[in-house]
Structure 1
Amino acid sequence: MKIAYPAPSLRLNRAFRRIAGRLIEFELLVTAGLLLASIIAALVIATGQTFPESVVLIGLTQAFLLLCFSMVLGLRDWNEDQILLPTATLLAGIGLVMIWRLAPGLRDFYGDIAHRHAVWTFVALTVLALVTFLPWRMHWLKHYRYSWLLLGLLLVGATMVFGIEQNGARLWLNLGLMQFQPVELLKILLVVYLATYLDDRRSLINTSYYLWGLRLPPLPYLVPMAIMWGLTVGMIIIQKDLGAALLFFSIFLAMLYVLTCQAWYVIAGLVAFVFGAAFLYPLFEYVQIRVDAWYDPWSDPLNRGYQMMEALYALAVGGYVGTGPGLGDPTTVPSSHTDFVFVAIGEELGMIGTLGVLACYMLIAVRGFQIALRTRDGFQQLLATGLTTAITIQALIITAGTINLIPLTGITLPFVSYSGSSLVVHFVMIGLLMRISATNKDPRVGS
């Protein structure tokens, strides 16, 4: 029996058609590259500052590999989402350019942050490729649920015991060659475990009874909300981490809402969080410092309110169109490369630049929730919801903090802030979302 193979020309035409099927992603990647190149050109003209050769080499390698990555995705023909990768890449590129812009003014305190951030960006993109291409099944995440829970608890315990306290919060572990922020990895572990727990108990949680006109699930299944509330309050007390506590609780409420479609769960959860924070306010000085600096930064302009006052002045100087790349003075704001990188963007690129950054996060939110709506698998639906919420709510929390809408928290701006662990974890989230979005998976490894 003879086996017929497609002619070489036919195979080549099929490959070209598959690559052309991802033309939207390819064009968006090229557009993002041109936009970043224009910002870099304006910076060089304005300041005379040049990229170190190592950073240029890493950046060009990343751009080339991203285009190759897009073409390989086309050849595989799993039909993954074409918007997530260019959007996340644009945000990461803006972050890299801003870190390079800020590096000269911060070198005496932080060393060569531009080179380190470029290396971490390369590592993050490599991990993204591994998550996307390695032949593993999504349900392996569900199968090893208790392993992820145990790892998460160990990370929290290690941070509580061995963590390094910075700016009043115990968030970092010193691993010798680098410092690692366990709360970043804990986000993924928490989302995976909650997706598994809620999906396994979907029918029971949706079995309800009425009390005072409110639809309630069986009492034992209200316990997870109580545990999550206790965990968030515990994080505030022990780790002094207001931002992560609010983020984790928001992730849980979003996933619970998707499962039950009961808005009162979200309302009740937020009310409980506010009451918990209000209870802790008079008991812990670091909570008072954050709230007082938010409520009236001008009452202590040389100490507690200094950082926020400088941030608000910088945004005012930026106005609608900004001072121009390289023409501002963003390093006058403390932590301008981490907590306040959004302010640095606002000063030099103006309201237009900050709205562009926020639009990128909103685009990730829209695509992520669309992926969750389209998938037929309950676990993957909850997983996509949790991952999308983790990215977008974190961006909203830190952005609101830097413009003084809420008390400032110590979390990073996803993809943009200087933080290697944050960058890697958020690209892992993008890789997982792309894998969930694939509508033409190989059944041997796709589900």
Structure 2
Amino acid sequence: MTSAPIPVSAKASGRTTELVLLLGALVLVAAAFLIVEAAQGQTLTWALAKYVAAFAALWGMAHLVVRYFAPYADPTLLPAVAALNGLGLVMIHRLDLGSERVDEVAKQAERTHNADQQLLWVFIGVIAFAATLILIRDHRTLSRYAYTLGLGGLIFLALPAVLPSSMSEINGSKIWIRTPLFNIQPGEFSKILIIIFTAAFLVSRRDLFTTAGRQFAGIDFPRARDLGPLIAAWVIAIGVLGFESDLGTSLLVFATVLTMLYIATERVSWLLLGVGLFVVGAVVAYQLFSHLQTRVHVWQDPFTDYEGSGYQIAQSLFGLATGGMFGTGLGSGRPNIVPFANTDFILTSFGEELGLVGIAALVMLYFIVVMRGLRTAVSVRDSFGKLLASGLAVTIAVQLFVVLGGVTKLIPLTGLTSPFLSYGGSSLLANFILLALLLRISNAAREPDVPKRRTPPPGVEAMDTRVVPRA
């Protein structure tokens, strides 16, 4: 008996749409480069063509990988990420040009060449993206190794804390592994491994988490013996917060796990308990660790120590105020005055030169990625894929909130970078892998329902979604 052939119209249409959108992103990035060069008074050279050609080649390669190894994947995910990454490259190049201009920097310094390094990281990221799509043909196989991956995530997360400061501390945060050749932030990879483990664990124990416990104020709270995963996530978050001075990763891990718990159980009690635990832990950590007290004091009033610890956030606020609604114009501001303008504060750089409208446009691109990721979670058939896609999409949303909240003084500074936009290697590489996993799940969700060539393996990865009545 022969199986019916897989229709080609759906995948051909999707990949054509993706290619057209990628060409639109290429035009946008090329135009942004030209505007920057004109505003900086630069003559057009082959160096500019290098960036545009490299951008086209790298994302064209990514498109070909998706076309052949995930032909039914969502056609909007890759172009949205490409646009974010390309605009980030434009801003990094713009900051390189301004680094040698006396009127744009607080003190004279040598010109930087971070855009060239960023292209190298994008190249490595595309390779990691391709390897993930090629090697992982079925996302459900990841659940087989959930405990191993979860253990690896915890080891990666804790490793900087046990290393000496000379090997792990940069700018006051012990979140790095420093080597003579490069620095790596293992926490960026830990978040993906922890999400995979959490998704598999929640699916395998879903009856446990949906069993009602005591009722208070009309809300069903879980039984005490069912709180293990939430307590574990809380301990990890507070440990990272205290010993590594990393508020960003702490918020990111805990918020993502808590959201996945809520998605799996649909019980508000998990959210209330989680937020309460985090508040209590944060208050205790604030009393114990002086570096947390410094961050909170700077957040409350950065101008009391303007020349010292408050300088960074104060300059960020000045830059955003200067940009106003429409900005000073791409290439016409002074974003280099803000420390870490191409990493932690790249959104401030965009806010100064593109204004509130430009920031809103970037947020919309992120919103597309998150929304399509959540739509993938709704569409995919297996419970593990639903929770995994939800976790991957939510972690991008939480990271964007934490970064945007930090540079606008909504919450204390965290040290996280904007996904796909900021300069850096670890974050970019990890997010390329995250994107590949989302596309792999999306491909499974959108693939025509035809007889499978092979029977899916039994276990957690093959479980279907079902409603469990409350006790």
Q: Normalized against structure 2, the TM-score is what?
A: 0.86
Is it true that 1:46 corresponds to 2:39 in the alignment? yes
Shift of 1:231: 1.2
Is it true that 1:94 corresponds to 2:87 in the alignment? yes
Is it true that 1:342 corresponds to 2:347 in the alignment? yes
Is it true that 1:248 corresponds to 2:253 in the alignment? yes
Distance 2:294 2:112 in 1: 29
Distance 1:17 1:142 in 2: 28
Is it true that 1:116 corresponds to 2:117 in the alignment? yes
1:205-354 to structure 2, matched below 5 A, reads: 205-212=209-216, 213-354=218-359
Distance 2:154 2:251 in 1: 18
Shift of 1:283: 2.4
Shift of 1:135: 5.5
1:58-207 to structure 2, matched below 5 A, reads: 59-67=52-60, 69-70=62-63, 73-74=66-67, 78-106=71-99, 108=109, 111-134=112-135, 136-162=137-163, 163-207=167-211
What does residue 105 of structure 2 align with? none
Conserved 8 A contact 1:55-1:118 = no
Distance 1:361 1:133 in 2: 25
Q: Compared with structure 1, are the counterparts of its residues 51 and 248 closer, same or farther at alpha carbon in structure 2 (3 Å cutoff)?
A: farther
Shift of 1:185: 0.3
Shift of 1:70: 3.2
Distance 2:455 2:350 in 1: 41
The worse-fitting range, judged by mean Cα deviation, of 398-407 and 207-216 is 207-216
Shift of 1:15: 7.4
The one-letter code matched in structure 2 to 1:282 is Q
Conserved 8 A contact 2:40-2:97 = no
Is it true that 1:29 corresponds to 2:29 in the alignment? no
What does residue 387 of structure 1 align with? 392
Shift of 1:56: 4.5
Conserved 8 A contact 1:77-1:440 = no
Distance 1:109 1:278 in 2: 43
Distance 1:418 1:264 in 2: 39
What does residue 10 of structure 1 align with? none
Distance 1:331 1:66 in 2: 28
When the two structures are aligned, how many residues end up with a matched partner? Answer: 436
- What CA deviation, in whole Å up to 9, does each residue of 1:148-175 have, x standing for no partner? 1222232233211224212221011013
Distance 1:92 1:166 in 2: 25
1:87 match: secondary structure? helix
- What CA deviation, in whole Å up to 9, does each residue of 1:208-252 have, x standing for no partner? 223334313343221111111111111111111111101111001
Distance 1:184 1:77 in 2: 25
2:214 match: secondary structure? strand
Q: Percent identity?
A: 35
2:175 match: secondary structure? strand
- What CA deviation, in whole Å up to 9, does each residue of 1:194-221 have, x standing for no partner? 1111111011211222333431334322
Conserved 8 A contact 2:95-2:342 = yes
Q: What is the CA RMSD across the aligned residues, in angstroms?
A: 2.6
The one-letter code matched in structure 1 to 2:193 is L
Conserved 8 A contact 1:21-1:74 = no
The one-letter code matched in structure 1 to 2:447 is N
What does residue 469 of structure 2 align with? none
Shift of 1:179: 0.4
The one-letter code matched in structure 1 to 2:59 is L
Q: Compared with structure 1, are the counterparts of its residues 367 and 445 closer, same or farther at alpha carbon in structure 2 (3 Å cutoff)?
A: farther
- What CA deviation, in whole Å up to 9, does each residue of 1:66-101 have, x standing for no partner? 335435644667411011111111111111111111
**Unaligned runs of at least 5 residues, structure 2:** 101-108, 462-471
Shift of 1:253: 0.9
Shift of 1:437: 0.9
Distance 2:400 2:95 in 1: 21
The one-letter code matched in structure 2 to 1:137 is D
Conserved 8 A contact 1:51-1:100 = no
- What CA deviation, in whole Å up to 9, does each residue of 1:262-315 have, x standing for no partner? 123112211221222122223221111111111111212111211111111111
**Unaligned runs of at least 5 residues, structure 1:** 1-5, 7-13
